[in-house]
Amino acid sequence: MIQALLSPALPPVGDLAPVEKPRFQVEDLCVYLESYLTPEQIREVYRAYQLGAEAHAGQTRKSGEPYIEHPVAVARILAGMRMDYKGLMAAILHDVIEDTGHSRESVAALFGEEIAELVDGVSKLTRFDFPTKAENQAANLQKMLLAMTKDIRVILIKLADRLHNMRTLGIMAPEKRRRISRETLEIYAPIANRLGIRWIGAELEELAFAHRWPWRRFLLQRAVERARGSRKALVTDVETALRDRMSQAGIQAEVVGRQKNLFGIYCKMRNKQRAFEEVVDVFAFRIVVDAIDTCYRVLGVVHNLYKPIPGRFKDYIAIPKNNGYQSLHTLLFGPQGVPIEIQIRTLEMQHVAESGIAAHWMYKSGAEGVSPQALAGDWLRSLVEMQRGSGNSMEFLEHVKVDLFPDEVYVFTPRGDIQVLPVGATVVDFAYAIHSGLGNRCVAARIDRRMAPLRTPLRSGQTVEIITAPRAMPNAGWLNFVVTGKARANIRAYLKNLQRQEAEVLGRRLLNAELAGQGLDLERLPAAQVTAYLERAELPDLPTLLVEVGLGNRLPVLVVRRLMGEEVTETTGAGERGKGPKLDIKGTEGMVVNYGRCCRPIPGDPIAGLFSPGKGIVVHRQGCRNLGDFQRHKDQWLDLEWSSEPSGDFFTEIRVDVGNQRGVLASLAAAIAELGSNIENIQSRERDGHNTSLDFLVTVRDRPHLARLMRRLRQVPRVMRIQRLMR
């Protein structure tokens, strides 16, 4: 069964998607709005409809119906959430800027700045060209999500828009249905769930499942119907038993049994690699009571009725989910040994569980415990921070997708505050969740009072204390294990800023080295010459020019020649280079000076440099064959020399040919450690049955250090030959 469900196949005959709900005309919408809006507000909604109908006149959808029926249907979905009248007006007008001749300014003139801002937030970017469709989609999602941080109604309108589009998706071509469904499952359904609007998230998931994997859904639905047929009376029997026990205990409760949705069952089978028969919680029951104390009384009652399954109880009342969801979850052995899930919550919790952030409009009373509006606000603020740390829209969207993972762990600060993080989150994720400054300075942590490294994954219930150092800074290696979008965005932003600072320093050194041949430096250049060059190069200021030079995007010899007034282009050859002093390399330049992996230069080697756009300088040993590849582009070469006092450790590769003997590798490793070097990597190749070649990537300080190391290795028994590698 599991293989059949997970294997790709053509969809079966027939439309598996849920049948489209009846269309709602504007008259029906206005009648519905009378239940909670004033006549003046309804008139404003109708005025928006009149403009929308006029703007979309003559436009039809793929199904042939007038286009205006779509925004009216979107407004009807929002009306079901008791959306305020301005939100409804924006919903009716949400395609006017994008698809008609009306501009944002004309909408603002007719309906006010607030509604124009909402409509513009939902509208796609149409005035820009993007290299790929993926970048276009990412930019539009970025625009929408950032507009959402200013007004949450933007995303509610977009979710209602996507929901109606999914309900009417059957008319589209199969490839487009799959693409839209994939985007829905990756972005819109998780956002709905993240904001706690579970009913929208669940319907989006089911509709997208039906269109993206129709055959899998068909097989799974058939399996569920067979299972339900063999246990037809189970739901009724359990409901009756639960109501009877509640009545005996004097507890007033609403008991509702339901079957888990197909997409949830499919995800559990796929993610946990389980067969359908192993998915235990196909049947679930919800018990709604009047107060929190009663929830815990009900828990005792149901545990006396059916035996609980050990380790399958979760208390989301004491520790709510990050979207405000609260409930008690317990898994029990039901009748005939069938596992059943029980969810116990209050009526207010039920409102939040179904409506989340939309409960702000639907229900006047506030939810018990943590407000979903406050938690949504925290998430929106984290989106703004992610945007600041993202280089482009694709990167921002990547951070948002990472942040939408539903599974969570709950860890505590030393003061007892709860931090909710995705499963797999590490100490670094925890530090950035508290504050970006704390993440930037963290060096280690104490987990339950025991020291732990930064890459340690966290588990629910742990108490984490971050240890910092004043001069600590993020490491690019952290990106290999952090899982939250906030941590990833902050690390990348810090490293980009650090690279910019280092590039500016290097760029100044490079230009001064070129100017030295003419007896000048940047400080003594006339300001008018610098300003004139910046205007011709369309650069805002001198620091930006220095960064461009330091990153290798502009060659210093050409920049200097243009600064001196020569008519050369920065994309042509440089001709003869300047006669300035060689640039000295200290080993502490940071990310803008890189060392070629082909030849692994170390202090003492004769060296030369190549400019690599976006990276800065790549240092090679003279005689490296990669330098030879640039013989015709000597304008990209740079004369380098080592500083008189280089610092740090440098990588180099050596090959040791040894005879096969037990313990020889341990002897070599001990000798390398004895000379103060560190082994970063080892590769071995057996040359014949008696000899082996070992390639060591080791750290050394300079050539004399390497020479001492090689002499020491020759003293190890069975060593036949040692050589330094140049690949």
> What was the pLDDT predicted at 655?
93
Percent of the chain with pLDDT over 70: 80
> What was the pLDDT predicted at 15?
43
Structure tokens at 40: 């003046």
> What was the pLDDT predicted at 644?
82
Query: In angstroms, what CA-CA distances link 487 with 83, 143, 441, 582?
Result: 34, 21, 13, 40
Candidate from 68-77, 248-257, 490-499 with smallest mean pLDDT: 490-499
> What was the pLDDT predicted at 394?
58
The CATH number assigned to the domain holding 346 equals 3.30.460.10
Rounded to 5, what percent of the chain is helix, strand, coil? 50, 15, 35
Q: Between β-strands 593-595 and 616-621, what pairing exists: parallel, antiparallel or unpaired?
A: parallel
Catalytic residue among 20, 98, 570, 657: 98
- Assign residue 604 a region: left if phi > 0, alpha if psi is -120 to 50, beta otherwise? left
Candidate from 228-237, 412-421, 555-564, 703-712 with smallest mean pLDDT: 228-237
d(CA 18, CA 15): 8
| Largest CA-CA distance found in the chain, in angstroms, rounded | 99
Burial class (CB in 10 A: 0-12, 13-18, 19+), 427: buried
Note whether 340 and 282 are within 8 A (CB). Answer: no
Query: What letter represents residue 299's amino acid?
Result: L
Model confidence at 103, in pLDDT bands (50, 70, 90)? confident
Indicate the helix (H) or strand (E) that contains 40.
Answer: helix 39-55
The CATH number assigned to the domain holding 103 equals 1.10.3210.10
> What was the pLDDT predicted at 495?
82
Does residue 222 register a pLDDT over 90? no
d(CA 159, CA 122): 10
Judgement on whether residues 534 and 610 belong to the same structural domain of the protein: yes
Does residue 253 register a pLDDT over 50? yes
Candidate from 211-215, 418-422, 423-427 with smallest mean pLDDT: 418-422
Indicate the helix (H) or strand (E) that contains 654.
Answer: strand 650-659
Judgement on whether residues 364 and 227 belong to the same structural domain of the protein: yes
**Listed residues 463, 483, 503: the one ending a domain:** 483
Which DSSP string corresponds to 279-311?
Answer: ---SEEEEEEESSHHHHHHHHHHHHHHSEEEEE
> What was the pLDDT predicted at 400?
58
**Listed residues 458, 483, 508: the one ending a domain:** 483
| Residue 270 forms part of a structural domain | yes
Indicate if 98 belongs to the active site. Answer: yes
d(CA 551, CA 587): 17
Does residue 411 register a pLDDT over 60? yes
Angle at CA of residue 718, ends 712 and 721, nearest 5°: 65
DSSP SS3 for 608: strand
The CATH number assigned to the domain holding 679 equals 3.30.70.260
Looking at the structure of the chain, the number of domains it has is 5
Work out the number of other CB atoms within 10 angstroms of the CB of residue 581: 13
Which among 279, 197, 285, 273 has a CA at the least distance from the CA of 237? 285
Judgement on whether residues 258 and 127 belong to the same structural domain of the protein: no
Q: Mean pLDDT, to the nearest integer, of 511-539?
A: 81
d(CA 601, CA 308): 65
End-to-end CA distance of the chain: 52
| Residue 180 forms part of a structural domain | no
Candidate from 26-30, 320-324, 639-643 with smallest mean pLDDT: 320-324
Query: In angstroms, what CA-CA distances link 378 with 174, 341, 371, 452, 649?
Result: 38, 31, 11, 28, 43
> What was the pLDDT predicted at 574?
41
Model confidence at 357, in pLDDT bands (50, 70, 90)? low
Summarize pLDDT for 439-460 with one digit per residue, the tens: 999 999 999 888 988 989 998 7
For residues 509 and 19, the model is more confident at 509
> What was the pLDDT predicted at 360?
53
Indicate if 99 belongs to the active site. Answer: yes
Structure tokens at 614: 């976006």
Judgement on whether residues 638 and 690 belong to the same structural domain of the protein: no
Judgement on whether residues 314 and 435 belong to the same structural domain of the protein: no
Note whether 566 and 575 are within 8 A (CB). Answer: no
Model confidence at 632, in pLDDT bands (50, 70, 90)? low
> What was the pLDDT predicted at 198?
82
φ, ψ for residue 550, nearest 5 deg: -65, -30
| Residue 202 forms part of a structural domain | no
Does residue 436 register a pLDDT over 80? yes
> What was the pLDDT predicted at 299?
93
| Residue 198 forms part of a structural domain | no
d(CA 679, CA 706): 13
Q: How far is CA 600 from the centre of its chain?
A: 35
Q: Mean pLDDT, to the nearest integer, of 375-380?
A: 58
Question: Residue written as tokens 């041949």?
Answer: 517
> What was the pLDDT predicted at 569?
54
Which among 587, 590, 583, 649 has a CA at the least distance from the CA of 610? 583
Judgement on whether residues 432 and 478 belong to the same structural domain of the protein: yes
Catalytic residue among 15, 54, 69, 99: 99
Does residue 122 register a pLDDT over 80? no
- Residue 116: HSE in the Cβ half-sphere, 13 Å Cα cutoff: 12
> What was the pLDDT predicted at 6?
36
Summarize pLDDT for 566-580 with one digit per residue, the tens: 665 554 344 444 445
Which DSSP string corresponds to 150-187?
Answer: H-THHHHHHHHHHHHHHHTGGGS-HHHHHHHHHHIIII
Note whether 264 and 292 are within 8 A (CB). Answer: no
Indicate the helix (H) or strand (E) that contains 109.
Answer: helix 104-111
> Strand ranges (DSSP E) for 464-603?
464-468, 583-585, 593-595
Judgement on whether residues 231 and 318 belong to the same structural domain of the protein: yes
Does residue 372 register a pLDDT over 80? no
Structure tokens at 678: 């560190």
| Residue 103 forms part of a structural domain | yes
Predicted TM-score (pTM) of the model is 0.56
> What was the pLDDT predicted at 685?
82
> What was the pLDDT predicted at 544?
86
Percent of the chain with pLDDT over 90: 20
φ, ψ for residue 658, nearest 5 deg: -130, 155
**Listed residues 483, 517, 537: the one ending a domain:** 483
Q: Mean pLDDT, to the nearest integer, of 104-133?
A: 72
**What pairs with residue 683 in β-bridges?**
695
| Residue 393 forms part of a structural domain | no
Q: Mean pLDDT, to the nearest integer, of 553-557?
A: 79
Q: Mean pLDDT, to the nearest integer, of 148-157?
A: 74
Q: Mean pLDDT, to the nearest integer, of 550-556?
A: 80
Judgement on whether residues 563 and 704 belong to the same structural domain of the protein: no
Structure tokens at 118: 């909402």
Q: How far is CA 335 from the centre of its chain?
A: 43
Ranked by mean pLDDT, which of 120-129, 623-632, 708-717 comes out on top?
708-717
Indicate the helix (H) or strand (E) that contains 47.
Answer: helix 39-55
Which among 452, 259, 416 has a CA at the least distance from the CA of 338? 259
d(CA 400, CA 135): 15
Judgement on whether residues 255 and 318 belong to the same structural domain of the protein: yes
d(CA 323, CA 355): 11
Work out the number of other CB atoms within 10 angstroms of the CB of residue 422: 19
Range of the domain at 87: 21-167
For residues 704 and 406, the model is more confident at 704
| Virtual torsion, Cα 369, 375, 376, 381, nearest 10 deg | 160
| Residue 541 forms part of a structural domain | yes
Work out the number of other CB atoms within 10 angstroms of the CB of residue 516: 14
Judgement on whether residues 613 and 527 belong to the same structural domain of the protein: yes
Judgement on whether residues 479 and 341 belong to the same structural domain of the protein: no
Does residue 344 register a pLDDT over 90? yes
Judgement on whether residues 79 and 36 belong to the same structural domain of the protein: yes
> Strand ranges (DSSP E) for 442-551?
442-447, 450-452, 464-468
| Residue 215 forms part of a structural domain | no
Which among 152, 204, 153, 199 has a CA at the least distance from the CA of 183? 204
The CATH number assigned to the domain holding 422 equals 3.10.20.30
- Assign residue 701 a region: left if phi > 0, alpha if psi is -120 to 50, beta otherwise? alpha
